[in-house]
């Protein structure tokens, strides 16, 4: 055993990015527990993109390379699919490290596509990232439903209600169908009808997509989710059915 | 619900495990439920699992905002593993229960030339039940446009 303690690195270590993330994760996300085995990287489809991989990313964070992490586009190429933590023998929460790394850039400098979709969702109580308002949604749903009730008489009693109080299920809906391929909404309506499900969409918060979450904008993410949850609660719905 | 419609056609299907409901939420039990439904509607002999699968499956590359982040080349490179998995099954269709997966895998099929179809699960459930009309077949190929059509006279 050495007689004196060997000290590595700077004398006074400033609080680094990894320290901040450790503070908000249960058990610190085990971020100190890496054995550098590389199981994460060998099974990660994002390995090699932007000259990065999960193990390297964690090592850089552990070494306090905060500026390099903030400059890397890799956190936007990781889908946070959690395959790395699934195979990790130490259960290190790399996906949360990646998610929080997205916040190292000012909001306005994050990828424009995600930013724009989040901002659009915030502008409307429908939370639609495509900007579809309640009136347009109601029109499309009603129009498509009427067409199928007439053309397929076996489904004359089929419903696609909006704001039905006391329904069992609150169903959300990706904006893409009502906007670009409305007929694609119908198969799910038919299945719900045949099994006798008592369900409803909400005039507020019906849109299932949540780009504010991908943007790592916690406040906006919460606002979008809360809009849907509040509407489900207002209607007295028992179960939130997420199709996303 | 049965797979009689596919008894003679023998159209082959594989299925993507959505990370959100499998690895990130309910694990292998729901992946098994998914396979039970898929096998019931397409026929057990017409289902080919991709490798690896269930909780150990790979993400398609459409999640986490990748589809809108602007890094298209990287996203397609990411998805090469998924495309290889699907092409190795030789399946005519990949069933995608997740909206992001559906969009990404559809693009992978075109980009890498596999030309397999990508379908929502609810489309096939309705096809199997004989209640899928002619206008609800946006993501079905030529081989399935005329199969088990509900109210064919309403085609637009």
- A28 near A62, Cβ under 8 Å? no
Q: Which domains does chain B have, with CATH numbers?
A: 4-154 (3.40.50)
* Tokens standing for residue A146: 């009427």
Query: What does the H/E/C string look like for A185-196?
Result: HHHHHHHHHHCC
Nearest residue on chain B to A95, judged by CA atoms? B64
* Tokens standing for residue B141: 């190929």
Residues found in chain A: 244
Per-residue pLDDT at A244: 67
The phi-psi region of residue A196 (left if phi > 0; otherwise alpha if psi is between -120 and 50; otherwise beta) is left
Q: Is residue A210 classed as helix, strand or coil in its secondary structure?
A: coil
Is A67's Cβ below 8 Å from some Cβ in B? no
Nearest residue on chain B to A215, judged by CA atoms? B65
* CB atoms B154 and A211 under 8 Å: no
Cis amide prior to A28 (ω within 30 degrees): no
Nearest to B75 by CA among A74, A165, A87: A74
Residues of chain A contacting residue B69, judged by C-beta atoms under 8 Å apart: 76-77, 111, 113-114, 214
Provide the ipTM: 0.96
What percentage of chain A exceeds 70 in pLDDT? 95
Is A239's Cβ below 8 Å from some Cβ in B? no
Q: What is the separation of C-alpha A51 from the centre of its chain, rounded to a whole number of angstroms?
A: 25
Is A81's Cβ below 8 Å from some Cβ in B? yes
Q: pLDDT tens digits, residue range B35-91?
A: 999 999 999 999 999 999 999 999 999 999 999 999 999 999 999 999 999 999 999
- A215 near B150, Cβ under 8 Å? no
Residue A23: burial class (beta carbons within 10 Å; 0-12, 13-18, 19+): exposed
Residues of chain B contacting residue A152, judged by C-beta atoms under 8 Å apart: 131, 133, 150-151, 154
Q: What is the mean pLDDT of residues B17-24?
A: 96
| Start-end of H helices in A124-234 | 134-151, 176-180, 186-194, 211-214, 218-234
Q: What is the mean pLDDT of residues A74-94?
A: 98
- A197 near B122, Cβ under 8 Å? no
pTM (global) more than 0.90: yes
pLDDT at A129 over 70: yes
Residue A19: burial class (beta carbons within 10 Å; 0-12, 13-18, 19+): middle
CA atoms within 13 Å, Cβ hemisphere of A241: 16
Q: What is the separation of C-alpha B32 from the centre of its chain, rounded to a whole number of angstroms?
A: 15
């Amino acid at each position: 055993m050495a007689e004196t303690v060997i000290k590595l690195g700077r004398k006074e270590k400033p609080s680094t990015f990894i320290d901040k993330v450790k503070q908000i994760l249960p058990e610190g996300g085990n971020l100190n527990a890496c054995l550098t085995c590389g199981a994460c990287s060998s099974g990660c489809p994002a390995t090699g993109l932007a000259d990065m991989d999960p193990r390297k990313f964690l090592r850089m964070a552990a070494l306090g390379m905060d500026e390099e992490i903030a400059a890397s586009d890799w956190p936007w190429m990781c889908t946070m699919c959690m395959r790395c933590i699934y195979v990790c023998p130490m259960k290190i929460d790399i996906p949360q490290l990646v998610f929080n790394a997205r916040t190292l850039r000012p909001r306005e400098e994050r990828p424009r596509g995600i930013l724009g979709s989040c901002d659009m969702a915030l502008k409307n109580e429908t939370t639609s990232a495509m900007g579809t308002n309640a009136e347009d949604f109601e029109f499309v749903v009603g129009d498509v439903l009427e067409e199928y009730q007439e053309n397929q008489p076996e489904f004359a009693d089929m419903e696609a209600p909006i704001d039905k109080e006391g329904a069992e299920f609150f169903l959300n809906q990706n904006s893409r169908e009502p906007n670009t391929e409305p007929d694609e909404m119908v198969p799910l309506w038919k299945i719900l009808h045949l099994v006798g499900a008592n369900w409803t969409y909400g005039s507020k918060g019906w849109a299932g997509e949540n780009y504010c979450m991908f943007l790592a904008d916690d406040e906006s993410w919460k606002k979008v989710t809360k809009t849907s949850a509040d509407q489900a609660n207002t209607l007295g719905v028992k179960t939130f059915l997420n199709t996303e | 619900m049965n797979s009689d419609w596919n008894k003679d056609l023998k159209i082959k299907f594989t299925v993507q495990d959505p990370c959100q409901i499998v690895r990130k939420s309910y694990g292998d039990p729901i992946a098994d439920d998914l396979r039970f439904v898929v096998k019931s509607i397409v026929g057990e002999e017409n289902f080919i699992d991709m490798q690896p699968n269930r909780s150990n499956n790979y993400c398609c590359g459409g999640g986490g905002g990748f589809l809108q982040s602007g890094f298209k080349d990287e996203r397609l490179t990411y998805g090469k593993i998924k495309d290889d998995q699907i092409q190795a099954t030789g399946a005519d269709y990949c069933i995608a229960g997740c909206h992001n997966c559906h969009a990404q895998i559809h693009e992978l099929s075109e980009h890498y030339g596999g030309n397999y179809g990508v379908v929502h699960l609810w489309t096939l459930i309705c096809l199997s039940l004989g209640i899928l009309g002619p206008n609800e077949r946006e993501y079905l190929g030529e081989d399935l446009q005329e199969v088990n059509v509900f109210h064919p006279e309403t085609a637009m």
